[in-house]
Amino acid sequence: MKNFFILVFFVFALASCGPEKNVQIRGALNGANTEKIYLHELGNESTSRRDTVQLDAKGNFSFKHKISQPTFYSLTVNNRAITLLAHPGEKLVITGDARHLPLTYSVEGSDDSQDIRHLSRRLEHTVFVGDSLDRTLKKYEGNRNFVNIQRQMEWNYISEVDSLRAYNIRFMGNNPQSLVIIYALYQQLGENIYLFHQEDDIKYFRRADSTFYKRYPKVPYVNTLHANVLVMNEQYNARQLNRMLSMLGQDVPEIALPAPDGKVVKLSSCKGKYVLVDFWASWSAPCRTENTYLLDVYNKYHSKGFEVYQVSLDQSRSSWERAIKEDALPWINVSDFKFWDSDVVKQYGVETIPANFLVDREGTIISKSLKGDALDKKLSEIFVAAE
């Protein structure tokens, strides 16, 4: 994912998406010395607005913009900036210390800007912990136990970063419709060191993109996110292809999950047959459609030694069992109800469903992603050759 963020914050010139309304951003900052305060509308650099006003003797300031869509702003004083997210018609009130604005400010009149403040404070805590650990480690340079101390410090920092990730993930889960998710996704621990950069993190970007792109098609940062996701998908699919090609000819990873009756069924129990390891879910329309094709293939080749071992990504047992009954699925069905977080899903590198792997009688993966007629053709070649 190292190239995913090349497009970060690159945006396009976009038309307005609704009637314009005023947004007012004003406040009073302690410790002011008639400095200038800057308001920068984040978005298309060629069209975004940059306003400047002078703080008065009491630190008062006021900006007013007409906007037609949710807009991200950067408010800067003394080279220290905070991020705001304003909606048409909102009146934001900022207070704090002009000398240390990011660490002292509070905001009223904007729930999204308050959420950004909470996320920013949590990030600042992690950065502070990292700096403190680094300073402490330097004190032990030359100590004979330096390597062990360094490992402990690294483990402490990793734990702190994991805690921050969990905090942001909880926020995204609790606020799935909030554009603040974009801010949460692109937080940085340092220059070009992104909090969300791991391969599994693509799911969070995809979920946000699927939520916002249709709802806010003309908000610049939504378009930036969409452009990033397109790049992520391309790179991810290339890695997945390489991974799956490397899996061909290898032994299929074991799966041992409970069936509807609660008994654990191992994939290895099917050894001696050609097995299609199929990933699906009751809530996926493409999967339910594919089940109809799979039924025809199963009925045609089951007596010849073909089996289906189907792994569900469902979270609801009742929905899973109902779908099995409605689709009249006669083969092996298992699930751990962990959705995309299932270890099996990660083990097989499954990112979209339906997905499948064809395994030979010896338990070796010989093909993948066989849908509809492609599966029928492959099995026909196998069993005709065996006759």
pLDDT in the model for residue 365: 87
Tokens 């921050």 found at: 164
18-109 and 256-386 share one CATH topology?
no
DSSP 83-112: EEEE-TT-EEEEEEETTSHHHH-EEES-HH
Cα–Cα nearest to 125, from 90, 77, 91, 168:
168
Distance separating alpha carbons of residues 220 and 46, to the nearest angstrom: 12
pLDDT of residue 13: 33
Domain residue ranges in the chain: 1-6+115-247, 18-109, 256-386
Other beta carbons within 10 angstroms of residue 57's beta carbon come to 8
| pLDDT score for 6 | 37
Q: Which CATH architecture has domain 256-386?
A: 3-Layer(aba) Sandwich (3.40)
Residue 333 has a pLDDT of 96
Chunk the chain into consecutive blocks of 10 residues (it has 387) and report each block's average pLDDT, rounded to whole numbers. Answer: 40 50 95 91 73 93 93 94 95 95 95 97 94 92 88 87 93 94 93 82 90 87 89 76 58 90 93 93 85 92 94 90 93 92 85 87 86 86 74
How far is 141 from 240, CA to CA, in rounded Å? 43
- pTM for the predicted model, two decimal places: 0.60
CATH topology classification for 18-109: Immunoglobulin-like (2.60.40)
pLDDT at 18: 64
